[in-house]
């Protein structure tokens, strides 16, 4: 829920608008975001621990340029999936703010993608 505070940061939602990888149609989804210590925002393609990634993840993979709205402000962003140690560091930031995300890893065999959104 937007506005709930845990630690120093609020569990926040942004509206992520992606372009459909097959349809080419814009799609908007609410997504929790976290402050990225390396700049930008972190989002997680958890799908609550489902077996498959959410559709917006595949849209970002095909078209990494996206649009977000946060607190009434809009901006254009570029998405970058994090891997290896960089992903592991970001995952620890996410767990510090939202420990519930650890439950999602127990519900699925896939590695849950972490994506950095940077302003363009």
Per-residue pLDDT of the chain (120 residues; tens, 9 = 90+): 333 334 444 458 999 999 999 999 999 999 999 999 988 999 999 999 899 999 999 999 999 999 999 999 999 999 999 999 999 999 999 999 999 999 999 999 999 999 999 999
CATH code, domain carrying 12: 2.30.110.10
What pLDDT does 4 receive?
A: 37
What pLDDT does 11 receive?
A: 54
State whether the Cα torsion 58-63-67-70 is positive or negative. Answer: positive
CA distance 65 to 52: 22
Residue pair 81/113 in contact (Cβ under 8 Å)? The answer is yes
CA distance 84 to 72: 34
CA distance 103 to 27: 27
CA proximity to 45, closest of 54, 34, 32, 36: 54
What domain count does the chain have? 1
What pLDDT does 96 receive?
A: 95
What pLDDT does 38 receive?
A: 85
What pLDDT does 117 receive?
A: 98
Per the structure, the complete domain to which residue 46 belongs is given by: 5-119
């Amino acid at each position: 829920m937007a506005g709930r505070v845990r630690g120093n940061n609020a569990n926040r939602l942004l509206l992520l608008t992606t372009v459909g990888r097959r349809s080419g149609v814009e799609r908007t989804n609410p997504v929790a975001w976290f402050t990225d210590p390396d700049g930008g925002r972190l989002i997680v393609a958890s799908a609550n621990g489902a077996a498959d990634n959410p559709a917006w993840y595949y849209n970002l993979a095909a078209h990494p340029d996206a649009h977000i709205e946060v607190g009434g402000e809009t901006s254009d962003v570029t998405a970058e999936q994090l891997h290896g140690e960089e992903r592991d560091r970001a995952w620890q930031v996410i767990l510090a703010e939202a420990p519930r995300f650890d439950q999602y890893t127990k519900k699925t065999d896939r590695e849950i993608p972490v994506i950095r959104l940077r302003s363009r």
